[in-house]
Structure 1
Amino acid sequence: MVVDPARTQLLVVRRADNGAWTPVTGILDPGEEPARAAAREVTEETGIVCTPLRLADVRTLPMVTYTNGDQAQYLDLCFLCEADPAQEPYPADGENTAARWAPLTNLPPLNPRFREQLQIVLSDDPAARFRW
């Protein structure tokens, strides 16, 4: 999740596939370091350059079944990233239809996982959260 240094804004995108507002998400390239992937995905999707500060949350996501019958289950690594809010985000690739800084006091609807991860990120607890 990308926030401004004052922790008053969250970088969000509107997904092209389902119209949902989310933080920037993405998938590691083979052999890619996770923090580097987080920064790359943010730039690829929004044009924003960010700095990953820490790993905040680790969880396994539910099984996904694709229309062709393939199944996958993803490991979700949530990083706290910081960026200068003077950078103007835009939908830099075809994955999103909008990108913007949203005030934490007026966020678009986020699913429960992202709301929980935002609270973890904002807690500034230096330890990553793990599920047992």
Structure 2
Amino acid sequence: MPTPDYILELRRVYGQGLLLLSGVCGVVLRDDLGPGGQHLLLGRRADTGRWSVPAGIVEPGEQPATTLVRELLEETRVLVLPERLAWVVTDPELVYPNGDRCQFVTSVFRCSYVSGEAEVGDEESSAVGWFPVDDLPELNEIQQRRIARALTDDDRCRFET
């Protein structure tokens, strides 16, 4: 899904200044793909070419877990069940190629696979796939930390201080 309409409207009024936005991402685990234990769902971002956990922006009136389910289905064609909130963190500021600035307060959910075949569902990803948890492609530090927090056996949500 492209940039939500309400953000485009904010940009028309506010310009390229820093927007604080609510984001979600899902660390989706599946253990029925045969040898290799658990597998993790990743998407290759069309804008950067980097692998990441699927993510999205919470829209007005939407609950974060609902956003997550919607975004994952749109982006990966996979239906998930959010199991727990693993981490809430303010990510570093992003500056997009067009000069727009934003910063996300991201809710990281640990999710289980329900159904669907992983495939590219929209223009935000160039590839989607399942990877053994112990053999992931190169990921940046933010993605590694999101995954590590969700993979812990600690059921408590973590917060940065």
TM-score above 0.5, yes or no? yes
Gaps of 5+ in 2: 1-26
Corresponding residue number in structure 2 for 1:87: 116
Opposite residue 46 of structure 1, the aligned amino acid is T
Partners of 2:113 and 2:46 in 1: how far apart?
Answer: 23
Corresponding residue number in structure 1 for 2:12: none
Match of 2:126 among 94, 97, 110: 97
* Aligned-pair CA distance for 1:31: 1.3
2:111 match: secondary structure: strand
Partners of 1:100 and 1:66 in 2: how far apart?
Answer: 26
2:70 match: secondary structure: helix
1:25 aligns to 2:64 (yes or no): no
Partners of 1:31 and 1:44 in 2: how far apart?
Answer: 18
2:47 match: secondary structure: coil
Opposite residue 3 of structure 1, the aligned amino acid is L
* Aligned-pair CA distance for 1:67: 4.3
* Aligned-pair CA distance for 1:87: 3.3
1:119 aligns to 2:145 (yes or no): no
Which structure's CA Rg is the greater one? 2
1:106 aligns to 2:135 (yes or no): yes
Opposite residue 106 of structure 2, the aligned amino acid is D
Q: Number of residue pairs matched? A: 131
Identity across the alignment (%): 38
Q: Can you list the C-alpha shifts for 1:21-57, whole angstroms capped at 9, x where unaligned?
A: 1110111111110011111111000000000011000
Going by fraction, where is strand more abundant, 1 or 2?
2
Match of 1:38 among 68, 84, 89: 68
Displaced runs of 4 or more, over 4 A: none
Partners of 1:68 and 1:111 in 2: how far apart?
Answer: 22
